[in-house]
Amino acid sequence: MLIFILGIVLIILLIQYNKYEGFENVGFGFEKSIEGMKPQDEATKKGLICYYGGAFRDGHNGSSKQDTEKGFDSQFYSTQSHIKLTQLIKEKGFSVDTIINTYHSSFENDLSKWYEPYEILLNNLNKNIKSTSGRDNLISSAVKNIKTLTPSEYDFILFIRIDLFLKPEFYKVLNIYSEKIQFLAHNFYQGHCGFTPQKDPEVVDLILFIPKKYFYMLDSKFKLNHNAWSYYKKEYLLSNDDMSFMTDLRFDSNTYLDYNPYYIISGRPENKIVHTYEKTNPNMYGKIGNTRGKDCAIYQKKKMDEYLNNPAEYYYNAHKDFYT
């Protein structure tokens, strides 16, 4: 009887662990040992990183200014954080390929030189289209480029917007051994509750981890936006158990509007104020609507916004020993 009870308790604990996968501080997935995996086995593993979006950007929220001196410097620092990401993955015995899908730029040659130690497929697109269409075109182009490779060779594919500077804390929550689709975080909004019409969480859509068993999603209908959680459930018949977040913290994906400890959008000032201490709760998915004052509390601003200028340069220099 005791053995039976202990078995039930163990099953419950395993269910709870799977529900919150990615919320624990897994140390980039590197402190986790893979049972039965020998060093020579790790060397056969391979990852693909896909950077997308406009590079060398400069300006406040909503600005499409590009190719300025400030934009050049900001992209340089972002690239250093990307190179660090590749180095850390390689240190775990993975080989890494890199794809870049971006717009034409007068600094294209510099971008190629910065990533030169790594395998790159640079695909430039016309930037003279509205931002949402531009994002969708870049994602679509990235998927087409992935198809020209041999996707079955990879154990995971990681999408990251190219103008993100990755802070040291990001490497602690990214788990490259995850068996789930992982978004970075549940998005936070001041104006509504951060849920889709289907009552699924709206996601921070700038970073996405996809393990091999979900590569079938990378088709002509694939999208990456705030409603991706609901879209993947409908389009690819996924369930909540197929997806998770790397962290349980909530924040606005736009770092001009809200602070987060994981990245900054490098070409714009960073908001220094944390606007919420809410955490995502998987037990509430499917149960919460999107109207503040009805489905969640009305947001009350407690501090005036403050901004850090040139944040990519600041964080790079503050943690130079880590990035170099």
Q: Is the pLDDT of residue 130 over 70?
A: no
Name which of 29-43, 150-164, 255-269 the model is least confident about. Answer: 29-43
Which is it for strands 181-183 and 207-211: parallel, antiparallel or unpaired? antiparallel
Q: Is the pLDDT of residue 324 over 60?
A: yes
Q: Which residue has the higher pLDDT, 2 or 162?
A: 162
Question: Tens of pLDDT along 57-71?
Answer: 887 666 667 788 888
> Of 77, 218, 104, which is closest to residue 159 (Cα–Cα)?
218
Question: Tens of pLDDT along 177-198?
Answer: 999 999 999 999 999 999 999 9
Question: Tens of pLDDT along 81-119?
Answer: 999 999 999 999 999 999 888 888 888 888 888 887 665
Total domain count for the chain? 1
Q: Is the pLDDT of residue 290 over 90?
A: yes
Cα of 110 vs its chain's centroid, Å: 24
* pLDDT value at residue 39: 45
The residues, any chain, with a CB within 8 Å of residue 205's CB and separated by 6 or more, are 183, 187, 224, 225, 226, 228, 253
Tell me if 58 is assigned to some domain: yes
The residues, any chain, with a CB within 8 Å of residue 221's CB and separated by 6 or more, are 235
Tell me if 26 is assigned to some domain: no
The residues, any chain, with a CB within 8 Å of residue 177's CB and separated by 6 or more, are 29, 32, 34
> Of 287, 228, 239, 289, which is closest to residue 19 (Cα–Cα)?
239
Distances in whole angstroms, Cα of residue 225 to Cα of each of 10, 133, 309: 37, 11, 27
Structure tokens at 188: 């936070």
CATH of the domain at 133: 3.90.550
* pLDDT value at residue 302: 85
Q: Which residue has the higher pLDDT, 258 or 136?
A: 258
Angle in degrees, 0-180, between the axes of helices 311-318 and 69-91, rounded to the nearest 10: 40
Task: Calculate the average pLDDT of the chain.
Answer: 85
Question: Tens of pLDDT along 236-270?
Answer: 999 999 999 999 999 999 999 999 999 999 989 99
* pLDDT value at residue 294: 94
29: left (phi over 0), alpha (psi -120 to 50) or beta: left
Tell me if 318 is assigned to some domain: yes
Tell me if 14 is assigned to some domain: no
Tell me if 143 is assigned to some domain: yes
Q: Is the pLDDT of residue 313 over 80?
A: yes
Please give the Cα distance from 227 to 130 (Å, whole number). 19
Tell me if 12 is assigned to some domain: no
User: What pTM does this model have?
Assistant: 0.86
Tell me if 2 is assigned to some domain: no
Q: Which domain holds residue 304?
A: 44-323
> Of 173, 181, 168, which is closest to residue 24 (Cα–Cα)?
173
Q: Is the pLDDT of residue 42 over 70?
A: no
Name which of 20-34, 59-73, 134-148, 299-313 the model is least confident about. Answer: 20-34
* pLDDT value at residue 120: 59
Assess contact for 57 and 267: CB atoms under 8 A. yes
Length of the chain (residues): 324
Please give the Cα distance from 301 to 288 (Å, whole number). 22
Tell me if 191 is assigned to some domain: yes
* pLDDT value at residue 101: 86
Residue type, 138: L
* pLDDT value at residue 5: 46
